[in-house]
Amino acid sequence: AVRRRLPALRWLPRYSPAWLQLDAMAGLSVGLTAVPQALAYAEVAGLPLQYGLYSSFMGCFVYCFLGTAKDVTLGPTAIMSLLVSSYAFHEPVYAVLLAFLSGCIQLAMGLLHLGFLLDFISCPVIKGFTSAASITISLNQVKNILGLQGIPRQFFLQVYEMLWRIGETRAGDAVMGVACLAVLAGLRAMKSRLPRPARAEPLAARVSYLIVWTAATARNALVVLFAGLVAYSFQVMGSQPLTLTGSIPQGLPAFRLPRFSMAAPNGTIPFGSMVEDMGVGLAVVPLMGLLETVAIAKAFASQNDYRIDPNQELLALGFANILGSFVSSYPITGSFGRTAVNAQSGVCTPAGGLITGALVLLSLAYLTSLFYYIPKAALAAVIISAVVPMFDAGIFRTLWRVKRLDLVPLCVTFLLCFWEVQYGIVAGVLVSGILLLYSIARPPVKVSEGDMLLVQLGSSLHFPAIECLRDTVCSQALAASPPRSVILDCCHISSIDYTVVVGLAELLQELRKHGLSLAFCSLQEPVLRVLLAADLEGFQHFPSREEAEQCGGAEPGRCRTAPFTSTDESSLLPA
């Protein structure tokens, strides 16, 4: 039990020096990606930039000991930052409290083994949300590339205001932003097409590969570094055409409990009011955090042939968010981009996260004064480069070919997320749930005509479907010329409830009024046991459809193959 709850005990006793080199390289590569992204994602969340760094190290340390996937790295992400922007109202006190409460909810879900709740969020809903988030986050950063100030954060107002004020674009910011985007896109394309050299290749070829691979992997850090040098050069010359990040407080955050109230101009906002203000965010943020982490972990686990435990991931994420809130972190989750860097760097164990976390701490302790010169346009380019791949244009074409009905929750989620993120997610889940319930309430029914009507259910039988089944059977049996008895093939029915039993009893009575019979065939043992215990009047069961057709629905005793009939037990049905 201890090894299951503390996965580090599985790999730590057999840790080898050969792994240390690979883990250190991977941790360093991820750290060089994490620091500039942390600053950029804090901008998306609408928080002071230091909160991105505060959110980037605790998850690395916690997941090292509690995580089940060697590749996953926890920290701020574009999706989570967008959610924090919606539910924390750009207030650090709200954001840190949201991290604490989300961690508590995730921890409770992990202890109660509620990871299965993720199964109710369908793929079209996830794709609709991530595609809308990609557009929303990208557009939110265009204002920084154009150098515009005072742009509202609401999507439609943002579009209108930027188009209206396009003439106020600052040339320096625009040139810097476009140049950074071009360099990032070029380095990304270069890395995807970079052939791995064989061991027989000359040393120069392997060194060249390592240099190009390192530059492409750490492209965010390189772009931010060079942009900062350009901005510093302008500052030294006495003219500054770029909008700079500005001062960031130096030093590590204090380790303390999150604040459960907040001072306001007209008094103090108590804990209850803060929770009420967050509203549905207390459900959306924990679930989306878990969804991102588990989806990423499953994707890389399948590539590397190991399994993950969703409930253990919940525990790791919960502890990371709770402890993170003690160092002023906003909610974190698994990052696909940094996890990909981790995997491509050859990480062997989650210990690589220790190096990443240490690098973030060093940046906080000693480098924040240098962040002053980072242009906002460069950070905006880093964000846009990270979120553009999240937009999946092909999903619309794929669903049109595979199942067009799935386009409904996809489009509902996609469109409503431009209004409010929470409305899009909740509406998408509700629409998916309605479609799921409809398929349960209206199972496919196949009716074959012969001497008797053979009715085959294409799926299991639940209580919402019993009225539909009754209407179908009665209408088909009585509409036939002459009216015919019915054989109900139950091979797909694995369980039934009391409402179904009552409905079947009423169906038997209805057919008997018209001189017709209803025979059941291929009943599975649990269903047969329930029907026998219910003591249905006129109940007949044949082991196979062929035997039922042979007997033609005859009364027991008038057929060579006698059916099972009801027992003498007291009826479970109402009188």
Same domain, 184 and 310: yes
* Domain membership flag for residue 306: yes
Q: Is pLDDT at 253 greater than 90 in this prediction?
A: yes
Does residue 567 fall inside a structural domain? no
Contact 317, 106 (CB under 8 A): yes
Q: What is the mean pLDDT of residues 119-143?
A: 86
Whether residue 559 lies inside any domain: the answer is no
Instruction: Output phi, psi for 256, to 5 deg.
Output: -155, 165
Q: Does pLDDT of 568 surpass 70?
A: no
Q: Is residue 565 part of a domain?
A: no
208/94 same-domain check: yes
Residues 6+ away with beta carbon under 8 Å from 339: 71, 72, 73, 296, 300
pLDDT digits (tens, 9 = 90+) for 166-197: 999 899 999 999 999 999 999 888 888 878 77
Which helix or strand (DSSP H or E) is residue 20 part of?
helix 17-45
Q: Residue 536: left if φ>0, alpha if ψ -120 to 50, beta else—which one?
A: beta
Q: What integer is the mean pLDDT of 272-285?
A: 92
CA atoms of 231 and 567, how far apart (whole Å): 89
Q: How sure is the predictor about 575, in pLDDT bands with cuts at 50, 70 and 90?
A: very low
What is the spatial distance between Cα 144 and Cα 124, in angstroms, rounded to a whole number? 31
How many domains are contained in the chain?
Answer: 2
The model's pTM is 0.77
Sequence-distant (6+) residues with CB within 8 A of 267 are none
Amino acid in position 167:
G
**Tokens representing residue 174 in the block:** 């625009």
Residues 469 and 333 in one domain: no
Q: Are residues 226 and 311 in the same domain?
A: yes
What pLDDT digit, counting tens, does each position of 323-337 carry?
999 999 999 998 878
Residue keyed to tokens 């053979």: 454
φ and ψ at residue 520, rounded to 5 degrees: -105, 140
The pLDDT of residue 196: 77
Domain that residue 483 falls in: 445-553
Which of 390, 405, 429 is at the close of a domain?
Answer: 390
CA angle, residues 295, 296, 301, in degrees to nearest 5: 100
Average pLDDT over residues 255-265: 93
C-alpha span between 266 and 260 (Å, rounded)? 17
Question: Given CA atoms 264, 268, 271, 273 in this order, what sign does their dihedral have?
Answer: negative
Q: Region 89-98: what's the mean pLDDT?
A: 95
Contacts (Cβ under 8 Å, ≥6 apart) of 98:
84, 87, 88, 278, 281, 282, 285, 330, 331
Q: Is 553 a residue whose pLDDT tops 80?
A: no
Select, from the ranges 95-99, 422-426, 559-563, the one with the highest average predicted confidence (pLDDT).
Answer: 95-99
> Is the pLDDT assigned to residue 137 strictly greater than 50?
yes
Are 245 and 319 members of one domain?
yes
> Using N-to-C axis directions, what is the helix angle for 376-387 and 171-192, rounded to 10°?
40
Q: Are residues 136 and 232 in the same domain?
A: yes
Encode pLDDT of 472-491 as tens digits.
889 888 888 888 889 999 88
- CATH number reported for the structural domain that contains residue 452 in this entry: 3.30.750.24
Shared-domain flag, residues 329 and 473: no
Residues 383 and 453 in one domain: no
**Residue 572: per-residue pLDDT:** 38
My answer on whether omega of the bond before 482 falls inside 30° of 0, hence cis, is yes
Any domain includes 235: yes
Shared-domain flag, residues 200 and 320: yes
Please state, in angstroms and rounded to a whole number, the distance separating the CA atoms of residues 418 and 139: 11
Q: How much is the average pLDDT of 335-351? A: 84
Average pLDDT of the residues in 64-88: 91
Is the pLDDT assigned to residue 293 strictly greater than 60?
yes
Q: Tell me which residue of 265, 327, 301 sits closest to 96, measured CA to CA.
A: 327
Structural contact between residues 304 and 71, judged by C-beta atoms closer than 8 angstroms: yes
Q: Does residue 393 surpass a pLDDT of 80?
A: yes
- Which residues, at least 6 apart from 277, have a Cβ–Cβ distance to it below 8 Å? 89, 94, 269
Q: H helices then E strands: how many in the chain?
A: 25, 10
The closest of 448, 533, 530, 445 to 496, measured between CA atoms, is 530
Q: CA 387 to CA 389: how far, in whole Å?
A: 6
Residues 6 or more apart from 233 whose CB is under 8 A from it? none
Residues 225 and 130 in one domain: yes
pLDDT at residue 457 is higher than 80: yes
Clarify whether residues 502 and 374 are in a common domain. no
**Assigned domain for 425 exists:** no
pLDDT category of residue 539 using cuts at 50, 70 and 90: confident
The answer as to whether 438 is a domain residue is: no
**Domain end point (choices 373, 390, 407):** 390
Q: What is the mean pLDDT of the chain?
A: 86
Would 415 be classed as within a structural domain? Answer: no
> Do residues 134 and 388 lie in contact, with contact meaning Cβ atoms separated by under 8 Å?
yes
Among candidate residues 28, 26, 24, the one with its CA nearest the CA of residue 359? 28
| Per-residue model confidence (pLDDT) at position 1 | 66
Same domain, 337 and 463: no
Confidence grade of residue 377 (pLDDT, cut at 50, 70, 90): very high
Query: Looking at per-residue confidence, does 395 or 422 come out higher?
Result: 395
Cα 102–Cα 284–Cα 261 angle in degrees, nearest 5: 45
| Per-residue confidence (pLDDT) for residue 565, from 0 to 100 | 45
